A = this chain, B = another copy of it.
Amino acid sequence: MKRMLAVCATIAALDCAAAAAPDAGKTIAMKGSATGAPPCTSCHGAQGEGNAAAGFPRLAALGQSYFVRQLDAFAHDRRKSPVMAPVAKALDPAQASAVARYFSSLPAAATPAPPRDAATSGALLAQAGRWSESRLPACNQCHGPDGSGVGDSFPPLLGQPAAYIKAQLVAWHDGARAPGPQALMKTVASKLSVADMDAISGYFGGAAPAAGAAPPAGTIRDAAQVAHKDGFTPPPESAIPDDEFGKLVRRGKAIFIDTKKNAAAFVGNDLNCVNCHLDAGRLAGSAPLWGAYVAYPQFRSKTGRIDDYADRLQGCFQFSMNGKAPPLGSDVLRALEAYSSWMATGAPVRTRMAGAGYAKVARPTGGGDHARGARLYEERCALCHGAAGAGQRARNVQVFPPLWGSRSFNWGAGMHQLNNAAAFVAANMPLGQGGTLDAAQAWDVAYFMDAHERPQDPRFTGSVAETRRKYHDSEDSLYGLTVKGQVLGAGR
């Protein structure tokens, strides 16, 4: 009993309630509750595997916290369901938690991974999104590799019945389901057509939902979605030629998307190129590769010389990836250069293109506030990047990038500068909701992010003060300054 109390002191109260009655959840699941809830397994299957034909979702391995929140939403009508509302209302918090715990402990049936190379619209929406046209993130950017779920807030899509997935998208679109954390799914659903919803739900659910199932009311594609007309459209993926050059372009893309895996020797943290250059480097306003490629060679004050594109790529590895510069002429640089140049096909050499880089955001007086930034971070960023800024992983893949700490970009990276970070945040964060923070908010968040410790600048001279004088003598850098009693750059 003493031991049990000690455990209770360290885990959440709900867990303790369940821990006190280990079989309570299973009993409710199999037989229903004394308070009138029917057995969950009647609809959701004996092992919580769901019912594809009826569109009843899988409950097994769903995640306890997520499960409890869904029951709460049904009980309080944030998810409208005539079937689930009375069930959820019949369970008290301890019962709900017990059921959640039970189903979370059941293994999900192995579901074959969806086809990654398919050029179907479902595969494209799941893996690439539709950034340029409507700033629609890919499903997998939040739901993880193959949509298999990430953490507490991004449930698995893979293996859920197609009809269920589609019904949820329709419900978010129509307001029948609450907008969800930060209205992310409301935003997403507003950018989807009925055909898109069918494609996505079919992709993850293994089959298209029955036609006519829950047809959405009205025109479903949101007319308010922003078309980004920046005067340049990179060629579509399908235009990558089927020859030696095309091979190198594809290799470049693979490195760009999954840098840690495909250029391992040169990466010293948990980031990938695509973290700062959204939509595989295509997206205007997110430092697209086509905008960068045509800007080089150029003088950079950072290096004090004219850098060409390969030189510039080296800098990314050294600083943003906290790694080592791939040698000039190496396969990694050649592949990234090929990918970039292909993306810039037709773009004018040595011009500043609309949509290149990150659009500057005016520096507010003071340049950002730590306390306001911390509040905003908690509200808008922590869901994905975590309270400690460490990002989130799933199935051994870094789904959300770490923003500070030992696995993030180092003190020499461009993103450690407030102006760059604020510009990136304003245009692109939260993911798919770029433009929803104003300039001052973007600076506050940037300040909070960049006021954390991270790996040392590789140009470190041995003295933080001297390194600041030499490389960071700018109001955009917090390196070497004291924030919250800590000299940044001095390590911990």
- Which A residues from 187 to 216 make CB contacts under 8 A with B? none
As for how many copies of this chain the complex holds, the number is: 2
Determine if A244 is an interface residue (Cβ-Cβ < 8 Å): yes
Write the chain B residue with the least CB distance to A348: B346
Q: Are B346 and A346 in contact (CB under 8 A)?
A: no
Determine if A404 is an interface residue (Cβ-Cβ < 8 Å): no
Count of chain A residues with Cβ under 8 Å from any Cβ of B? 30
- Give the distance to chain B from A308, nearest Cβ to Cβ, in Å: 6
Q: Cβ of A341: which chain B residues have Cβ within 8 Å of it? A: 296-297, 349-350
Complex: A109 Cα to B293 Cα, angstroms: 54
Complex: A299 Cα to B349 Cα, angstroms: 20
Could you mark each residue 394-415 of chain A with 1 if its beta carbon is under 8 Å from any beta carbon of chain B, else 0? Answer: 0000000000000000000000
- Give the distance to chain B from A315, nearest Cβ to Cβ, in Å: 13
Determine if A334 is an interface residue (Cβ-Cβ < 8 Å): yes
- Which A residues from 30 to 82 make CB contacts under 8 A with B? none
Q: Cβ of A311: which chain B residues have Cβ within 8 Å of it? A: 329
- Give the distance to chain B from A334, nearest Cβ to Cβ, in Å: 6
Complex: A213 Cα to B299 Cα, angstroms: 51
Could you mark each residue 301-326 of chain A with 1 if its beta carbon is under 8 Å from any beta carbon of chain B, else 0? Answer: 00001101011000000000000000
Q: Are B349 and A346 in contact (CB under 8 A)?
A: yes
Q: Cβ of A329: which chain B residues have Cβ within 8 Å of it? A: 311, 328
Determine if A111 is an interface residue (Cβ-Cβ < 8 Å): no
- Give the distance to chain B from A231, nearest Cβ to Cβ, in Å: 13
Could you mark each residue 238-260 of chain A with 1 if its beta carbon is under 8 Å from any beta carbon of chain B, else 0? Answer: 00000111001000000000000
Greatest chain B CB density within 10 A among A245, A294, A306, A342 is at A306
- Give the distance to chain B from A297, nearest Cβ to Cβ, in Å: 5
Q: Are B294 and A349 in contact (CB under 8 A)?
A: yes
Q: Cβ of A338: which chain B residues have Cβ within 8 Å of it? A: 297, 306, 308
Once A308-B337, A310-B308, A310-B310 are accepted as A-B contacts, the answer to whether A297 and B245 lie under 8 Å apart by CB is yes
- Which A residues from 329 to 352 make CB contacts under 8 A with B? 329, 334, 337-338, 341-342, 344-351
Q: Cβ of A436: which chain B residues have Cβ within 8 Å of it? A: none
Determine if A298 is an interface residue (Cβ-Cβ < 8 Å): yes
- Which A residues from 18 to 33 make CB contacts under 8 A with B? none
Q: Are B245 and A299 in contact (CB under 8 A)?
A: yes
Q: Are B298 and A245 in contact (CB under 8 A)?
A: yes
Q: Are A334 and B350 in contact (CB under 8 A)?
A: no
Write the chain B residue with the least CB distance to A251: B306
Q: Cβ of A299: which chain B residues have Cβ within 8 Å of it? A: 243-245
Q: Cβ of A350: which chain B residues have Cβ within 8 Å of it? A: 341-342, 344-346
Complex: A344 Cα to B297 Cα, angstroms: 12
Select A306's contact among B248, B297, B345, beta carbons within 8 Å: B248
Write the chain B residue with the least CB distance to A245: B299
Q: Cβ of A296: which chain B residues have Cβ within 8 Å of it? A: 341
- Give the distance to chain B from A305, nearest Cβ to Cβ, in Å: 8
Write the chain B residue with the least CB distance to A296: B341
Q: Cβ of A248: which chain B residues have Cβ within 8 Å of it? A: 297, 306
Complex: A348 Cα to B349 Cα, angstroms: 6
Select A297's contact among B337, B348, B351, beta carbons within 8 Å: B337
Q: Cβ of A351: which chain B residues have Cβ within 8 Å of it? A: 345-346
Q: Cβ of A349: which chain B residues have Cβ within 8 Å of it? A: 293-294, 341, 344-349
Complex: A308 Cα to B293 Cα, angstroms: 13
Complex: A218 Cα to B382 Cα, angstroms: 82
Q: Cβ of A348: which chain B residues have Cβ within 8 Å of it? A: 345-349
Q: Cβ of A346: which chain B residues have Cβ within 8 Å of it? A: 348-351
Q: Are B334 and A308 in contact (CB under 8 A)?
A: yes
Closest 6 CB pairs of A and B: A328-B328, A244-B299, A344-B349, A345-B350, A346-B348, A248-B306
A residues within 8 Å of B by Cβ?
243-245, 248, 293-294, 296-299, 305-306, 308, 310-311, 328-329, 334, 337-338, 341-342, 344-351
10 contacts between A and B (CB under 8 A): A244-B299, A248-B297, A294-B349, A306-B338, A308-B338, A341-B350, A342-B350, A345-B350, A346-B349, A347-B349
